[in-house]
Amino acid sequence: MNGPGRSGPAGGPSGERPAWWSLAAPDAAQHLASRPEGLTTAEAEERLAATGPNVLRPERRTGLVGLAVRQVSNPVILVLVAAALVSSALREWIDAAIILAIVVGSALLGLVQEHHASRAVARLKARLALKASVLRDGHLEDVASTAIVPGDVVALSAGSLVPADGLILEAADLFVIQSALTGEPEPVRKLPGVVAPAAPMPERTNAVFTGTSVRSGTARVLVTATGEATEYAAIAGRLRLTAPETEFARGLRRYGYLLTRVMLVMTLIVFAANVFLERPPIDSLLFAIALAVGMSPELLPAVVSVTLASGARRMAARGVIVRRLDAIENLGSMDVLCTDKTGTLTRGVMEVEAALDPAGTPSDRVLRHAVLNASLQSGLANPLDEALVERGRRDGIDLADASKIGEVPYDFTRRRLSIAVRANGAGDALMITKGACAKFSRSAPVPEREAATPRSTLRCGPRSRRCSRPAAQTGFASSGS
C-alpha cells in the first residue's frame, strides 16, 4: 500500500487515530494512553474487550447445512433427483428408492469428508497460534498475538514476526523484511524518528507492520493498530475473493447441463414421434419420461465421491489435509508444478555439498576457511553458517590452532562478513570474507594468478563468476569466500 495514511478504526482510547508514523514517540504514547513500560494486565484486558482480538476478519465458516447444499448443487445430482421424482410419479418405487439412496450416500460421503477436513484445519490453526514478547505490568512476558492491543509495547528480535502495526521506540541494528507489503526485495533498516504524514509505506522507516518479519537486530515497538485496523488487513480486504471453481467441478457442471439438454430433447422427440403415430398422449409422455430417466447416470456421483474420498484418505496418510474433495482432481491433472525451494518440498535443512576453488575443483583449504568464518563470527546465526559448522564437525576440522582478532559484521549494504584470524596468536593475520561472488569482483579485484596463492585467502577476482558456475549448474546455492 503506497498511499498516505488511511483513516480507520480508533487506534486507542483517544478516538480517531492520526498518521501515527508522523508523531514523536511520547506524543504517540500519550495519544494511546500508554507509557514506555507498557500497559497493565487490567488495562490490556479492558482494551481487548473494546477493540476485539488482533486477528484479520476470519473466513466465514461453512456449516453442515451449507456443506450439504454444496454436495447436491451440481447438475448431475439435480438430474438424478428429478429422475427419482419422475419414478415416484410413475409409481416406480423401487427405482426411485435406489436413485435417492445413491444420491444421499454420495452426498453424505462428501459431507463427512469435508466436515472432518474443516475441523482438522481449525485444530491446526489453533495449534499454530503465534506469541509475542510484550511488556505487561513492567516486565516482558509471552502473550498470544491475538491478545495484543493498541498501546502495548512489544519487544522484537531477529526472527520475530511483527504481530501488529507499531511505532519504533528504540532499535539496535534493526532490519525488517516487508516485501509482502511493499515488494522491496531487500531488508529495510528501521530507526526511531518522525516521518511526514503523507509518506508512503516504503518511506515509513520509523514503523513496522503486521505481516513483516525481523531479519536482524532488536527493537521495542509501541502498538498503534491491531486486527482489521492494520495496513495488512486493508490489503487483505481488497484481495478477499470467492474461491474459484475447480476445473473438475466445472467439468461436472458442464456435463450435467449437457445431459439435461439431451434428456429434454430426447423426451420431446420421443413424445412427438409417438403422438405423430397416433399413440395415446399420456402413455407417450410416460414412455418418453421413462426413457429420459433411464439415460441418467445413477452411479456417477457415487463413483466420483468414493474415488475422491479414497484419494483424500491416501493423502491424509501422508500428512495432507484435503478440505474439498474436488480439489484432488485439480492436483492430479497438473502437468507442471512450480514451487519455491525453501523447504516446502524438501527437509528445509541446508547442507554443504562442496567447497570449490576459483577453478571449480574441490578444495579442503576453502572448506577450512569457510568453517573458520562460520564458527568464529559473532553475528546473527543463519542456516548457511550452521551447515558449515556441521560440515566442519563431521569432517573433523580442527579449529583450535586459530584465534579471532577482529571482525567486520555483515550488513545489507556491504553484503559481506569478514573475520581476521591468527594461527596460535602468532604469525601473519588472515582475513576470511564470506559473501556473494558478485560483491567480491566489484570491490576487490585481484590478478588471476593471485586468486589462489598459498598465503592469501580464497578471493573471487576477475574469475569470480567461475566460483559459482559449478554450483549453479547443479541447482545448489553458492557463496564466495
Give the residue numbers marked as catalytic.
340
Any alpha helices (H) in 242-280, and if so which ranges?
A: 247-276
Q: What is the dihedral of CA 114, 119, 122, 127, to 10 degrees?
A: -130
Whole-angstrom Cα distance, residue 481 to residue 479? 6
Is-contact 376 432, C-beta < 8 A?
no
Q: Cα–Cα distances in Å, from 143 out to 37, 44, 90, 174, 212?
A: 15, 11, 67, 22, 18
Are residues 218 and 157 in contact, defined by beta-carbon separation less than 8 angstroms? yes
| Cα distances (Å, whole numbers) of residue 147 to 129, 132, 332, 369 | 11, 10, 41, 47
Question: In 178-291, which ranges are E strands?
Answer: 188-190, 207-208, 213-225
367 neighbors 391 (Cβ within 8 angstroms): yes
Q: Which amino acid is at 65?
A: V
CA distances from 188 to 7, 182, 278 (A): 25, 11, 86
Compute CA 456 distance to the chain's CA centroid, rounded to the nearest angstrom: 44
Backbone φ and ψ for 46, nearest 5 degrees, come out as -65, -45
- Contact between 211 and 232 under an 8 Å Cβ cutoff? The reply is yes
B/e letters for 139-175, b = 16+ CB within 10 Å, e = fewer, are: eeeebebbbbbbbbbbbbebebebbbbbbbbebebbb
**Residue 285 Rama label (left phi>0; alpha psi -120 to 50; beta):** alpha
